[in-house]
Each structure stands twice: as structure tokens, then as C-alpha cells.
Amino acid sequence: MALETVSPVIVDSLQGRDLLSLGDLSRDEFSGLLESALTLKKGWKRGDRPRLLDHKTLAMIFEKQSLRTRSTFDIAMYQLGGHSVLLSQNYIGWGVRETIKDVAYNLGRWVEGIMARTYGHGTLLELAEHASVPVINGLSDLLHPCQLTADYLTLKEAFGELGGVKVAFVGDGNNVCNSHLNAAALTDVSLTVACPEGFEPDAGVLETARAKGADITLVHDPREAAEGADVLYTDVWISMGQEEDTARRREAFSGYTVTSAWLEALSPRGVFMHDLPAHYGEEVTEEVVYSPRSRVFDQAENRLHAHKAILFQLLRD
């Protein structure tokens, strides 16, 4: 077993930074993140065990549920020689038992980084304003940057080059969709978003992505978006925190359920993607997720390697 041989590319400008939005990254920084994720993944698989974050600690704060984000950040820290501390609203009562500012000041004395999953994006901004260590967005109501980092790693593996890849996101213009807009602005993919009227992505994120030159088309017909796409991507209609709006959303998204028949419209190399968890029978059928075209569990696997790259670049000395 080669213990220390892996040496991922170092993106100098990311050291000590927050990762709250992919919109804060340059093209070079994003591509460096993906390169280092690939290197770390390959190295891990051939037996390299580099302790790149030896003795460092990540605090993980969750206001919402999680399987993938919680597990993979924890495992990533462990595999890089570090450690994580899991906190949740129930444990720390942040903003209730004590202020977010006080939580940030305390954690900054003990840990080298904080990953947080919040409802309001403003909570993350407040945390980052007061934390003396990097803050990573593990999903907010507005954005999910770590997911799209793993997804673009998956795209690189599937297609080699990202340039010219046609991505279709169909469904709710939610946090995952907004991060798709940001990711499109960092690469040469062409992105089509199909959503019902009234469920479009965030106007500010869209405007900024387009101003950076992103190739983004907005339509209201999901089958039109899927036609000839290399990637058909969807996400839940009812995100965490929107449960009270379930009936209205189910009605608005009728006609948006991705079924096996939709896969026939994709390009010959076309794949299906979903960040998970899936609500079967709503945005997608189980058959599609388990079909040969599906890259869903590659995406889940790549959360681990993408998070290693993010943690390495932000938290290293």
C-alpha cells in the first residue's frame, strides 16, 4: 500500500476561504477543485492514504436531515487524517440557546473548519461573517454547492471534457437548480432548465450566471429540455422545509415525473442524474434511478471525493 504518494494540485487562492456558493469561485478554482477530487479519488482507490489534514477538526452543524452530506464529510475528514464533530440544532440550539455569532466565536477556537446545513442562506452568511475559520455550505434553501462539485466530477468521469455537454435540469428551480446555474457559469456546458411557471430558479443567481457568460435556456416544457440532452437531472418537488406546500407543488409539477420513456429522448451518451433523496412516483420513478443510464450512485460516491478536495483546499496549512 502506498501511504503518502498522492499529491493533488494545490489551488493557492482557496486556502482559508469559505465555500458558500460556487458563484464565489473562478473557473480556475473550480477546475482545480475537480482535478484534485479526481486525483484524491484515484489515489484512494489504489491504496494511497495521505494524512493531508492530520489532526484537523471539522464541525458539522445540521438544521435539516442528511444522509450523504453528513456521512461523506465525516468520512472525508477521517480519510484525510482528521476528525469531525457532529452538531445539530438539538445539541446546540443555535440562534436560540445562544447566538450564531457566539457559536462561531466558540467553534473558531477549537476547529479548523465548519460545514453547516441551514434553512435560510442568511444564517450561513452570518456564521461565515463571524467565524475565523472556513465555512462550507452543506446546503441552504438557496444553494447546494458541494452537490454540484460532486456532480461535475461525475460528469468529467462520464464525458471526459465538460465543454459542449448538454445538461437539462427539469423540476423545481430550487437550491440544486440554482447551483446548476452557478456551475454552468464556471464551465462550457450548456444548461436548459425546465420548470413550471412560478417555480423558476432564483432571478439573481440566474442574472449573475448569465452575466458571466453561462449558456442557460429557460423553458416550461420538460420534454423539450430532455430532447437530445447528455444529462437529464431532476430533484424533489418538495424540498426540506416546504412540506406545508405539498399539495400545491404536486399539482404544479404534474407532467414532470421522469419515467423510463423519457430516457429514449436523450442523446446516445445521455445519462440520468439526481442528487438524492428521491421521492419515487413524484419527480422520478424507481426504475429510472436503477436503470443502466443512471449515474445517481456515482454522484453519491463522488460526494466523498469532492468533499475531500474541498476540505483539503480550504483547510490545509
- For the CB of residue 117, give the shortest distance to ligand CP in the complex, in Å: 7
Of the pair 93, 241, the CB lying nearest ligand NVA is at 241
Q: Does 2 bind ligand CP (CB under 6 A)?
A: no
C-alpha cell, 313 = 483546499
Q: Does 86 bind ligand CP (CB under 6 A)?
A: no
The pattern of x and - marking residues 143 through 162 that bind ligand CP according to CB under 6 A reads: ----x---------------
The pattern of x and - marking residues 15 through 54 that bind ligand CP according to CB under 6 A reads: ----------------------------------------
Rounded to whole angstroms, the Cα distance separating 201 from 175 reads 8
DSSP letter for 201, please: P
Of the pair 71, 291, the CB lying nearest ligand CP is at 71
On the 0-12 / 13-18 / 19+ scale of CB atoms within 10 A, 169 is buried
DSSP letter for 284, please: B
Q: Which residue is nearest to ligand NVA (CB)?
A: 239
- For the CB of residue 85, give the shortest distance to ligand CP in the complex, in Å: 17
Interface residues with ligand NVA (CB under 6 A)? 139, 174-176, 235-236, 239-240, 275
C-alpha cell, 29 = 478554482
The pattern of x and - marking residues 201 through 240 that bind ligand CP according to CB under 6 A reads: ----------------------------------------
One residue of 139, 177, 271, 310 binding ligand CP per CB under 6 A: 139
- For the CB of residue 242, give the shortest distance to ligand CP in the complex, in Å: 14
One residue of 87, 218, 265, 276 binding ligand CP per CB under 6 A: 276
Q: Does 69 bind ligand CP (CB under 6 A)?
A: yes
Q: Does 275 bind ligand CP (CB under 6 A)?
A: yes
User: Which of ligand NVA, ligand CP, none lies near 106, with the C-beta cut-off 5 to 8 A by kind?
Assistant: none
C-alpha cell, 251 = 399539482
One residue of 66, 88, 208, 291 binding ligand CP per CB under 6 A: 66
**What is the per-residue DSSP string for 25-87?**
S-HHHHHHHHHHHHHHHHHHHTT----TTTT-EEEEEESS--SHHHHHHHHHHHHTT-EEEEE
Rounded to whole angstroms, the Cα distance separating 229 from 208 reads 24
Peptide bond before 277: cis, by omega within 30 degrees of 0? Answer: yes
User: Which of ligand NVA, ligand CP, none lies near 174, with the C-beta cut-off 5 to 8 A by kind?
Assistant: ligand NVA
Give the burial string for 88-115 (b: 16+ CB within 10 Å, else e): bbeebebbeeeebeebbeebeeebbbbb
Torsions phi, psi for 266 (to 5 deg): -70, 165
Rounded to whole angstroms, the Cα distance separating 273 from 262 reads 13
Of the pair 31, 175, the CB lying nearest ligand NVA is at 175
- For the CB of residue 23, give the shortest distance to ligand NVA in the complex, in Å: 18
Which neighbouring-strand residues pair with 85? 59
Of the pair 29, 275, the CB lying nearest ligand CP is at 275
With CB under 6 A as the contact rule, which of the stretches 15-23, 63-71, 225-233, 305-313 interacts with ligand CP?
A: 63-71
C-alpha separations of 49 from 43, 52, 57, 206 in Å = 8, 9, 18, 40
**What is the per-residue DSSP string for 227-244?**
TT-SEEEE--SS-TT-GG
Of the pair 18, 63, the CB lying nearest ligand CP is at 63
Query: Where do contacts with ligand CP occur on this chain (CB under 6 A)?
Result: 66-69, 139, 147, 275-276
